[in-house]
Amino acid sequence: MGAAALVVLGVTGCGPTSADPAATAVASETPDASQTAAPSTAPDASDPPATGPTIPPGATAVPAPGAGATPGPDGPTEAAALPTTTAALDEAITFDTGVVVEIVAVDAITVTAETPGEMDGPALRVSVAARNQSGEPQEVDSAVVTLITDDGEVGVGTTAGSPSPLSGMIEPGATVSGTYVFMLDPASGRNVTVTVNYAAGEPLAVFTGRAP
């Protein structure tokens, strides 16, 4: 009886130990997640952000052909015209700023070139005075004076003939003077218009008359 029990135990211990075939089939049919996962399209946080081409310092970006700037709906804006007051050559013009501008004299002269770039020839010398009747100093370093004839010929400013433009600061109650020389051929007896802008952005004084 004891021998029979040993035989039964021995047969049982030698039997197969593998898992159930059905369970094995299910396990083999389940795909491995690492083998079937679709590649991710999300950027890796460690990747540097994408940027456009860099421009070295001091360089200017040049647009591609046909990619010029688009003008605004109203187009370019023009500077507003300055207020203008007109008078005869022998009259003074007083502005609301308290500055009084006048043409002191217009003389026909002949200039001689003294430095390179200058020319000999007839010219008009225009003497201008600016008086400050306001209570504040007025600066005239940016003063501009031009001359044109009634038939459209422009007097060409020159450094010949010793011009001395308006400059400096005009204190309240003070007057400063300046001279300007314009090449013009012929110069004598011409009808001219002299425009004086005593300071940038300020009104224009326009004088018309006949040169001597």
**What residue segments make up the domains of the chain, in order of their start?**
84-210
Q: How many CB atoms lie within 10 A of CB 80?
A: 7
Q: How many CB atoms lie within 10 A of CB 166?
A: 23
**For 120, what's the count of Cα atoms within 13 Å in the CB-facing half-sphere?**
1
Q: What is the DSSP string of 118-136?
A: ---EEEEEEEEEEEE-SSS
Q: Are 208 and 191 within 8 A, CB to CB?
A: yes
Kindly give the parts of the chain with pLDDT less than 50.
1-31, 33-39, 51-70
Would you tell me which CATH number, out of the four given (2.60.40.1240, 1.10.3720.10, 1.10.8.60, 3.40.50.300), belongs to the domain 84-210?
Answer: 2.60.40.1240
Largest CA distance in the chain: 160
pLDDT of residue 157: 97
E strand or H helix at 7, and its extent?
Answer: helix 2-13
pLDDT of residue 58: 39
Residue 30 Cα to chain centre, angstroms: 70
pLDDT of residue 70: 47
Separation of alpha carbons 178 and 167, rounded Å: 8
Q: Could you tell me the two tokens for 101?
A: 């501008």
pLDDT of residue 85: 97
pLDDT of residue 110: 97
130 burial level (CB within 10 Å; 0-12, 13-18, 19+):
buried
E strand or H helix at 26, and its extent?
Answer: helix 21-29
